[in-house]
Structure 1
């Protein structure tokens, strides 16, 4: 921008012409802007070198700190430089356009600091979840809760500090918020119920992101994808998203199968009545097979016994637990166990029973008995 253009602009905002005849302050403004540009460039070079050093270190937090401070520091340099130049122009003139320099400086510094802290909280949240950067990474739910609470605290604190610097009374704002909170509470009770429901989920942690949950009270079953302050998104097993208000979780029973330590195999296997003499040997062999099975936890409850006499079979109960909790692998283990039980029954000369009916006739009518005798003679 030329000096003539600067003259025109300052004249348009009310700077007296007598002041414009003295160009010393214009050179000072130009020098400040040039110095600001130079300092910003040097700061960028310094941050680039520090980031390279930090990337080679084992310390996690230097990376987080430098990445969060890079842009806010350069913006702060430009903010201070521009306002310094504006202060020089204000000293050389009494133009009303410069009377907001001090409020802008105070608010600008607070905004830049808030920006830095907000980015720091976000990177802190991501770093806590990274298994390659921390020894014991937090789960996504806990890390998200910590990050959200930090960011909410930063924004609320920054807002109150800005209001205080602009001349508003914080005590008055808080008092107004207390009175207005009552009205808002009645108007948005469902929203607040969901908020506190989400807070309870974060504190009690009945489930985390990635868990398989289901409710016997509601038609809810699927994998948790996201836990928000108002809604929790669950992906059902038919791949449909299910959005559940957080207040729901405070009124229903919730089951979390993802936290089971074992999966149970409970089967009833029938053997023919004519093979009842082999039942004891079959039971002993099946029990030994389960104890020796690599995928069966014999430290848990393990039962193989004759359980009841059924209508057409002698029923054996098989009750045991697998070591795996993975759904697909569990069914593979269960299949292997059932096939080995079938082999054991066959090895003992017995057979698995199927529904049959035996009819006992006490006597036959005379004509049927004679017909039977004729057939026997033939």
Structure 2
């Protein structure tokens, strides 16, 4: 394009070439602003989304500035103009070419930063999925700032090699000094992209803590425990551990209630009774329906499991409590035995007489220091 312009203005005086180039560029800029960009802005204001309106609105200024200053920059690149003015080529570039390019770069950098920041403002209140949006806005601002400084220094022919070396050394020092903070920051970004959890989810950590996510920050995640205590967990620790999200993909939770009944029990009546109890409990969901599962033949009981669903993980403990109470009462009323382990204890005194008694396993005391004889326990 520079060669074509040089050929066109080869015989044109410098002042005429200046008027033509600057006039044409300004005229095109005005036409773009008045006809094209304003029309696009009116059209995008009537669309369903705000993103196209934001994009057109923020790009108006850099487009107009670029077109208007294009003529000024091109003047410095045409040999015939350079030869017919009092300034040298280097001076023309210094006073007109580089400043015009600098203004164009700053305008586009400002617009790029504004576009992303306004996009973030639009999405940050549209759900917990975008909780990290302000973090990306800050990172983007830093990237644009550093890139703009680098581009301007390159245009003005300043060597950035020493700065890059110094930045590398400073980055290593900062990395060692704030490695935990950096690890937490990137851990939070990884959790965001993995969609591990969001606000309101009930999660369980491999360390045993369980709670509802109430805040997702740049450095840490805050959980509200069932006893209304807040626990702050670094994102790096969460990213490196196993996290069980009990609220995903659905908020409902399956509840397992183990039950044991004595051998000889009519299992059909027993199963029907327990299912009736589960279906009458308000915390238990109607769908999927509760069901009974015969798991194994235990040492002293037939081991069953009641499987049912509750609306959310935080209701599981309360539902288990109410089900256990209701099952115990109804089985007692129905005469269905709930067995428990028992042991026969033989106490052998010094005279050799043997007496036997039967007590629950929890009350057996072995090696009684007050006994004159020995204590033996057996199943």
**TM, length-normalised to structure 1:** 0.54
Paired residue for 1:62? Answer: 52
Query: Residues of 2 paired with 1:351 and 1:247: CA distance?
Result: 52
Q: Which structure 1 segments of 5+ residues have no match?
A: 1-34, 84-90, 92-98, 132-136, 363-378
Q: Which structure 2 segments of 5+ residues have no match?
A: 1-25, 73-84, 86-93, 343-354, 357-379
Displacement of 1:185: 3.4
Equivalent residues of 1:210, 1:224 under 8 A apart: yes
SS of structure 2 residue aligned to 1:295 = coil
- Quickly say closer, same or farther: Cα 1:109–1:61, change in 2 above 3 A: same
- Quickly say closer, same or farther: Cα 1:221–1:338, change in 2 above 3 A: closer
Paired residue for 1:295? Answer: 286
Query: Residues of 1 paired with 2:95 and 2:117: CA distance?
Result: 32
Query: Residues of 1 paired with 2:153 and 2:131: CA distance?
Result: 33
SS of structure 2 residue aligned to 1:259 = coil
SS of structure 2 residue aligned to 1:303 = strand
Deviations 1:172-216 (CA, angstroms, capped at 9, x unpaired): 433443344334433443343334433433444433444333434
- Out of 222, 247, 250, the residue aligned to residue 234 of structure 1 is 222
Equivalent residues of 1:304, 1:319 under 8 A apart: no
- Quickly say closer, same or farther: Cα 1:179–1:146, change in 2 above 3 A: closer
SS of structure 2 residue aligned to 1:213 = strand
Displacement of 1:65: 0.9
Equivalent residues of 1:68, 1:120 under 8 A apart: yes
Aligned pair 1:286/2:274, yes or no?
yes
- Out of 117, 120, 136, the residue aligned to residue 122 of structure 1 is 117
Deviations 1:152-185 (CA, angstroms, capped at 9, x unpaired): 5433322321222343224443344334433443
**Structure with the larger helix share:** 1
- Quickly say closer, same or farther: Cα 1:48–1:243, change in 2 above 3 A: farther
SS of structure 2 residue aligned to 1:168 = coil
Paired residue for 1:163? Answer: 153
SS of structure 1 residue aligned to 2:244 = coil
Displacement of 1:341: 5.0
- Out of 106, 112, 117, the residue aligned to residue 111 of structure 1 is 106
**Structure with the larger strand share:** 2
- Quickly say closer, same or farther: Cα 1:129–1:304, change in 2 above 3 A: farther
Equivalent residues of 1:295, 1:333 under 8 A apart: no
Displacement of 1:117: 0.9
Aligned pair 1:211/2:196, yes or no?
no
Paired residue for 1:193? Answer: 183
Aligned pair 1:178/2:168, yes or no?
yes
- Quickly say closer, same or farther: Cα 1:327–1:167, change in 2 above 3 A: same
Equivalent residues of 1:266, 1:317 under 8 A apart: no
Query: Residues of 2 paired with 1:121 and 1:253: CA distance?
Result: 33
Paired residue for 1:255? Answer: 244
Displacement of 1:281: 1.5
Paired residue for 1:86? Answer: none
Q: Give 1:75-154 correspondences, 5 Å limit.
A: 105-125=100-120, 139-140=129-130, 150-154=140-144
Paired residue for 1:376? Answer: none
Deviations 1:85-136 (CA, angstroms, capped at 9, x unpaired): xxxxxx9xxxxxxx977766544433332221112123334556787xxxxx
- Quickly say closer, same or farther: Cα 1:213–1:119, change in 2 above 3 A: farther
Equivalent residues of 2:202, 2:314 under 8 A apart: no
- Out of 249, 266, 270, the residue aligned to residue 256 of structure 2 is 266
Query: Residues of 1 paired with 2:308 and 2:153: CA distance?
Result: 62
Equivalent residues of 1:128, 1:138 under 8 A apart: no
Deviations 1:292-339 (CA, angstroms, capped at 9, x unpaired): 98535359x8525686576xxx676333141633534x5786678668
Paired residue for 1:223? Answer: 213
SS of structure 1 residue aligned to 2:222 = strand
Query: Residues of 1 paired with 2:133 and 2:292: CA distance?
Result: 40
Query: Residues of 2 paired with 1:241 and 1:55: CA distance?
Result: 44
